[in-house]
Amino acid sequence: MKICLGINMPEAMAQMALSPIPVPLQIAMGYAGSLITVASGIAMLKGRNWARFLYVIWRAVDIVIALLTSPMNMMLVFGVVFYLIITFFLFRPAANAYFSQKG
């Protein structure tokens, strides 16, 4: 069974080629973003306050880069809305209490 990462998909590669960011850099950013998201998620589960800031800042940078370079900005609307909802819940009073008690 072959795992498809989008690299061997001609349609995905064609869309990635439309961006001003080179395709290898886009792929590297995707992997880095995934690692940062997983690491911050694990750290948040352990109550690490810095992890929520890492996630929020990384996603904000990622969204800004995507808005500036993506040929299909309308496709980003769902991601932006999802980001805003997650950020809202990460900074509610209950979340602040959770992160302040764990350090």
The verdict on residue 78 lying in a domain is yes
The verdict on residue 93 lying in a domain is yes
The verdict on residue 15 lying in a domain is no
The verdict on residue 72 lying in a domain is yes
Query: Which pLDDT tens digit goes with each residue over 79-99?
Result: 899 999 999 999 999 999 999
The verdict on residue 33 lying in a domain is yes
The verdict on residue 16 lying in a domain is no
**HEC string of the chain?**
CCCCCCCCCHHHHHHHHCCCCCHHHHHHHHHHHHHHHHHHHHHHHCCCHHHHHHHHHHHHHHHHHHHHHCCCHHHHHHHHHHHHHHHHHHCCHHHHHHHHHHC
Q: How confident is the model at residue 4 (pLDDT cuts 50, 70, 90)?
A: low
pTM of the model: 0.79
User: Domain range for residue 35?
Assistant: 22-102
Instruction: Count the domains in the chain.
Output: 1
